[in-house]
Amino acid sequence: MATLRFRTEKGFLRVFLKSLTLRGFKSFAEKTTLEFEPGVMVVVGPNGSGKSNLVDAVAWVLGAQGPRSLRGGKMDDVIFAGTSTRPSLGRAEVSLTIDNGSATLPIEFSEVTITRTLFRSGDSEYAINGVPCRLLDIQELLSDSGIGRQQHVIVGQGQLDSVLNARPEDRRLIIEEAAGVLKYRKRREKAERRLEATEGNLLRLNDLLREVRRGLAPLQRQADAARRHDGLVDELRAIRTYLAGVELGTLTAKGERIVEKRASFADEDAQLQARLRDLDLSVIDAERLLTIAGHGDLASMLARIEALRERARGIGALLAEKQRNVERELSAAADEGVVDNFVAEVGALREQLAAVDEEAAVLSQAAAGIASAEAEAALRRSEFQAQEAAVPDAGAAEAARRELAARRDALGRSEQEPERLDARAREIAERLVRLSAEQAVLQTSTAEAAQRTESLVADATAQRSAFEAAVLSTQATEEALRKAEAEASRWSARSEALALALDSARDAAGAARIDGLAGVVGPLVDHLSIEAGTEAAVASALGDAMRAIVVKGGDSARLALDSLVAGDARALLLVVDSSVQSVQGEMVPAGTRALVDCVRTSLPGLDAVLARLLAGHILVDGDWSRALDAAILRPDVVAVTRAGDRFGGRSAWRIGADESAGVTQSALDEAREKAEQAKETAATARTALDGARAAERSAREREELAREANRSNAISLENGAASLSRIDGEIIERAEEKRVLEEGALTQRTALTDDRARIAEIEAALPELEKAESDAGELLAQRMAQRAELEAGEAAVAALRRDSEVASAAIEERRVGLERRLGAVEERLAKDPEAKALAESRRASLAMRASDFAQVGIRLAERTSLIDVALERLRGEHHRRSERASEAGSRLGDLRRERVEAERSLTVVREQVGRLEVEDAETRMRLETLVERIRADFDCEPSATLDVEAPIAPEGSTLAGRGRDLDRELRIMGPINPLALEEYDALQERHDFLQQQLEDVKSSRRELQRVIKAVDQEIISVFEKAFDDVQGNFTDLFTTLFPGGSGRIFLTDPSNLLETGIEIEARPSGKNTKRLSLLSGGERSLTALAFLFAVFRSRPSPFYLLDEVEAALDDVNLHRFLDLVREFRDEAQLLIVTHQRRTMEAGDCMFGVSMPPGGSTKVVSQRMRGEIVLQ
């Protein structure tokens, strides 16, 4: 939001007050809005046109509470009262809009509107930016801006003089408000109220505590006895319960142990019997095994096998010896000559050569076969390669099958889709039909609701107006009742006070002593009637005569005096003579009246006495200063004020009046009469209030019914419109969805037709493709088999070729070696042919024998190994049988011994079972007796005694002995009061609670005292700084306004900065007087302005409102005042109500106020200089 600023030759000025709106406030019957400008704004207009009402409106909207501060008698005087042509209004409302662009106010709005509304019923409402609030909220909002309850920035008519006449403490409040002390004062007042309430609570708590403590002592003694008795009973019961529980636990545990032992013995008996049965079976088995182990022909077979083994060993030894003999002969033959060796070697070499030739012939034949096989393999390879190139492709059939499967799968999935889409489209079509029907119904109902709206709104408005009228009537009646009751209470209290004062006056007059004497009329107050409002003045003038007794002259006076003297009594007598005429009226100063005119009496002659007593006394309207001035001007008169101040004459001067002054019988009668009238008025108003409230309730019910009907109709209309909007949208959505579904169904059907045609095409072509694929597969399989066979043949031929080549090379190498060796050996044998032939014959014979022995040795070794195997097997079996027989005998002995032990244990177990049965019967009988005793004595279940903790027995004593001692002590104690303990506990609890509350209250009091002290220090600090600034500025401003003069402000009690007042001392140039009362009217105005502007300069405020403050100034002083205004115009807004032309000329903006006859105030505005700039 733009901030409104005003451009001048010095720059821009910030606007704080933006606008003021009045409606029904005083003379502003119609809504009137004033748009404020920066700088100085002047309000002009004829007298009585309502200029000051603008200032009052600002003060009122900012929270002014006193009717007198608004120039009224009561608060509802601010409501437009009506004219001869316009009726009165029921409420007044003022709204003030403040520019908060600089965030001066602690609120997050750049513009703040404060509104106050007052109804004739007395109800008042406040609002900030349209939000209801409290007056306190507004005061707190404005407190930091220097605007408080005193509203020192608003100076109304006549308030300048009130600043000077104010008490010093009231002047202090102006500085405090400007310095922002108000929030601290509020905090201090709140703390003091809480402290006062705390003190009251403290007194009440102390009284309650004293009362409680008086009742605690006797109850404590009874409670101690009851507590001791209960303690002894509880202890004895606990001991007995514990002992019973111990015994119960012991017996129960014993019974459980017996049961466990019986179960254990039963298990042991069963186990022993089972063990005996098992042992019997085991003994039988052991005897059978022992018998089996001792029989069989294994030993004879073992002997025969061992004999065969020994015989084979002997034959083997003989054969070995023969072989050794042959070997020795061969060795001997070799040693006899080298010829034999050569002959043998030649034979061997020739045999080897023959064998090599045979192998070479075989290899030659094999090589020819291998060459033939290689040629055949090459031929088959070329034929296979030619056939392999002619194999057809088999992938077309596979691709066709895959496509066929995919299309069939898609067809199976999509066949139901068109039907589903059609079904969904039909559902949507049905929904569209229903929506159309619902739309038609809603349109009809909405049209009907729209037709009803106008009549319902009119009815609701009428009922609302009737209700408001009823509320206003009730409020007016309540206000009348409150006023009547307040008036009745006031007059009743006044009559009672007057009666008491009158009785006191009569008693003080001593009328009782002379009452009844001839000529004694009675106390003066019984025969005196004083004009309302002048009671204090008459009483001050008459002085002691007010307590006098009226006595007729002559002998009556003498008798009265004799009676008083005889009774040693004192009294004041006022002697009247009916023959004496009253004194003629005397001349009094202008503006005053003779005081005797305010007194009336019906007693003949008393008026003359009163005229004589009040001769020279005049009544001065105004305060004591005017009366003093009158007394100084006319020393021959006594000036008396309505407040009872008395100056002049021969008697002492007097300030203030006696509290009981002016009490007369006529005043008492008048008060009683007024009280009765007020009570009758209150009764009438109460009856009227009952009727008004009944009418209000009836109007409220009718208004609520009409509002509810209107609300229901509006809701129905709103719901209908919303439903129609929803249905329209849904119809559009459903129609679009139906179109999409229909298009989708058509697309799906087209795709299905294409898929079916393609499937038929593939199915027709597939048999041929599959036949071609089958043929190609068979041919491919044949080719694969042929390839494998071919490759295998080639590999075999290649292997044969490699083996043949390796064998040929080996045979050739061997032949070469053998031939070379044979040649060498034959060359040597050629030298001895006979030795060669003999050696060969002998060697052949020995070799034949060695060969025969070797064959026999082999057969003998085979038979010997078989015999060894059989022998080892028979020996192992014999060893195992021996071990089993030994084990069977040992086990049999152990089993027989174990059986004897088991029989002995079974006998012992059966004897213990018999003893346990006897013990179990005895335990059960004792347990039953104990359970009955527990239930009878302790009224609880036996199981509860088992959880009881053991009581602590005194040292040197047992629980049983302690129980006997407690029983004896209880018998000695006798009867007690069983309720004393409960009563004492309740009282003690209350005492503790009250004590805690007392401590809390004391703590709160200390805390509040600390808070008040801290706030006081803050107030002193802030006030001291503000006063120092104001003091300096006042001296400067006074010197400016009074050249050559001097003035100062000072504290009445500098030692008490918290409560001290502020006095003003002013001495214009050429005058020695310092008293403010002796200053002229203009000087008093300038002095007050100096003080206010010193406050304004020390603690500036955003705006100031001045109502005809310069009225008493001459041209020179007016010029000085305007200089001050110009000084402040650059820093704040000033709204000045004036009749001075020079003040008008100093303004930046002018508001003209007028009021036509019989109408209300009108306002026009005119900007005097400058221009408005939005920034």
> Residue 319 falls within a domain, yes or no?
no
- Axis crossing angle, helix 833-938 with helix 338-388, rounded to the nearest 10: 60
- List the single range of 28-32, 163-167, 846-850 with lowest mean pLDDT: 846-850
In tens, the pLDDT along 126-171 reads 999 989 998 888 877 876 665 655 567 788 776 777 788 888 888 8
Give 506's pLDDT tier (boundaries 50, 70, 90).
low
Give 699's pLDDT tier (boundaries 50, 70, 90).
confident
DSSP bridge pairs for 115: 95, 127
> What integer pLDDT is reported at residue 330 of this predicted model?
62
Cα–Cα distance measured from residue 732 to residue 737, given in angstroms and rounded to the nearest whole number: 9
> What integer pLDDT is reported at residue 810 of this predicted model?
63
With beta carbons less than 8 A apart as the criterion, state whether 900 and 312 touch.
Answer: no
DSSP string, 105-166: SSSS-SEEEEEEEEETTS-EEEEETTEEE-HHHHHHHHHTTT--SS-TTEE-TTHHHHHHHS
Distant-in-sequence contacts of 156-161, Cβ < 8 A, 24+ apart: 156/52, 156/55, 156/56, 156/59, 156/69, 156/71, 156/1107, 157/52, 157/71, 157/1107, 157/1108, 159/1107, 160/1084, 160/1085, 160/1088, 160/1089, 160/1092, 160/1109, 161/1084, 161/1085, 161/1088
Residue 164: C-alpha distances to residues 424, 1018, 1092 (Å) = 96, 28, 11
> What integer pLDDT is reported at residue 295 of this predicted model?
46
> What integer pLDDT is reported at residue 413 of this predicted model?
60
Q: Is the pLDDT of residue 117 over 90?
A: yes
Cα–Cα distance measured from residue 1149 to residue 590, given in angstroms and rounded to the nearest whole number: 43
Give 1065's pLDDT tier (boundaries 50, 70, 90).
confident
- List the single range of 527-541, 749-763, 787-801, 938-952 with lowest mean pLDDT: 787-801
Written as six digits, the tokens of 766 are: 């597939």
> What integer pLDDT is reported at residue 300 of this predicted model?
61
301 versus 663: the higher-pLDDT residue is 301
Run of H or E including 239:
helix 182-293
> Residue 359 falls within a domain, yes or no?
no
Strands 154-155 and 1103-1107 turn out to be parallel
243: closest CA among 932, 924, 948? 948
Count CA within 13 A, CB hemisphere, residue 415.
6
Q: Is the pLDDT of residue 82 over 80?
A: yes
Helices (H) and strands (E) in the chain, counts: 21, 26
In tens, the pLDDT along 403-438 reads 676 667 666 666 777 777 788 788 888 878 888 888
- Mean pLDDT over 314-326 rounds to 66
Q: Which residues, at least 6 apart from 752, have a Cβ–Cβ distance to it below 8 Å? A: 411, 414, 415, 418
With beta carbons less than 8 A apart as the criterion, state whether 13 and 1130 touch.
Answer: yes
Written as six digits, the tokens of 424 are: 């969904």
In tens, the pLDDT along 996-1039 reads 877 877 877 787 788 788 888 888 888 888 889 988 988 888 88
Give 1171's pLDDT tier (boundaries 50, 70, 90).
very low
Q: How many CB atoms lie within 10 A of CB 727?
A: 19
In tens, the pLDDT along 49-65 reads 888 888 888 888 888 77
Which region, left, alpha or beta, applies to residue 87 given φ > 0 means left and ψ of -120 to 50 means alpha?
A: beta
Is the four-CA dihedral 1066, 1068, 1070, 1076 of positive or negative sign? Answer: negative
Q: How many CB atoms lie within 10 A of CB 326?
A: 19
- Main-chain phi, psi angles of 1033, to 5 degrees: -65, -35
18: closest CA among 42, 29, 2, 34? 34
> What integer pLDDT is reported at residue 828 of this predicted model?
63
> What integer pLDDT is reported at residue 1 of this predicted model?
35
> Residue 263 falls within a domain, yes or no?
no
> Residue 1071 falls within a domain, yes or no?
no
> What integer pLDDT is reported at residue 1153 of this predicted model?
92
Cα–Cα distance measured from residue 935 to residue 917, given in angstroms and rounded to the nearest whole number: 28
With beta carbons less than 8 A apart as the criterion, state whether 405 and 398 touch.
Answer: no
Residue-range definition of the domain harbouring residue 655: 529-543+573-659
353: closest CA among 818, 879, 901, 917? 818
> What integer pLDDT is reported at residue 37 of this predicted model?
83
- For the chain, how many structural domains are there in total? 1
- Mean pLDDT over 1043-1068 rounds to 87
- Residue 624 maps to which CATH number? 3.30.70
Residue 239: C-alpha distances to residues 242, 943, 954, 1096 (Å) = 5, 16, 12, 90
Helix (H), strand (E), coil (C) string for 321-364:
HHHHHHHHHHHHHHHHCHHHHHHHHHHHHHHHHHHHHHHHHHHH
The mean pLDDT of the chain is 76
Cα–Cα distance measured from residue 1128 to residue 462, given in angstroms and rounded to the nearest whole number: 53
Cα–Cα distance measured from residue 558 to residue 552, given in angstroms and rounded to the nearest whole number: 10
> What integer pLDDT is reported at residue 44 of this predicted model?
92
- Mean pLDDT over 916-939 rounds to 77
Q: Is the pLDDT of residue 1057 over 90?
A: no
- Mean pLDDT over 683-708 rounds to 81
Cα–Cα distance measured from residue 654 to residue 642, given in angstroms and rounded to the nearest whole number: 13
The DSSP symbol for 415 reads: T
Residues in the chain: 1175
734, burial (CB in 10 Å: exposed 0-12, middle 13-18, buried 19+): middle
Dihedral angle, C-alpha 507, 511, 515, 520, nearest 10 °: -150
In tens, the pLDDT along 633-649 reads 787 788 888 777 888 87
Run of H or E including 381:
helix 338-388
Q: How many CB atoms lie within 10 A of CB 59?
A: 20
> Residue 588 falls within a domain, yes or no?
yes
In tens, the pLDDT along 581-610 reads 555 556 777 778 887 788 888 777 777 787
890 versus 121: the higher-pLDDT residue is 121
Cα–Cα distance measured from residue 1083 to residue 1070, given in angstroms and rounded to the nearest whole number: 13
Percent of the chain with pLDDT over 90: 3
- Per the listing, tokens 């044949």 go with 782
Cα–Cα distance measured from residue 125 to residue 106, given in angstroms and rounded to the nearest whole number: 22
Give 97's pLDDT tier (boundaries 50, 70, 90).
very high
Which region, left, alpha or beta, applies to residue 1149 given φ > 0 means left and ψ of -120 to 50 means alpha?
A: beta
Strands 617-620 and 1103-1107 turn out to be unpaired
- Per the listing, tokens 């492709």 go with 393
Q: Is the pLDDT of residue 445 over 50?
A: yes
Q: Is the pLDDT of residue 508 over 60?
A: no
> Residue 635 falls within a domain, yes or no?
yes
DSSP 3-state of 464? helix
> Residue 631 falls within a domain, yes or no?
yes
- Mean pLDDT over 277-304 rounds to 63
With beta carbons less than 8 A apart as the criterion, state whether 1061 and 1126 touch.
Answer: no
pTM for the whole structure: 0.39
In tens, the pLDDT along 183-241 reads 777 778 887 887 787 788 778 878 878 887 787 777 777 777 777 777 777 777 778 78
- Axis crossing angle, helix 980-1041 with helix 1115-1129, rounded to the nearest 10: 120
Written as six digits, the tokens of 984 are: 């004492």
> Residue 589 falls within a domain, yes or no?
yes
Output the CA angle 172-175-177, nearest 5 degrees. 105
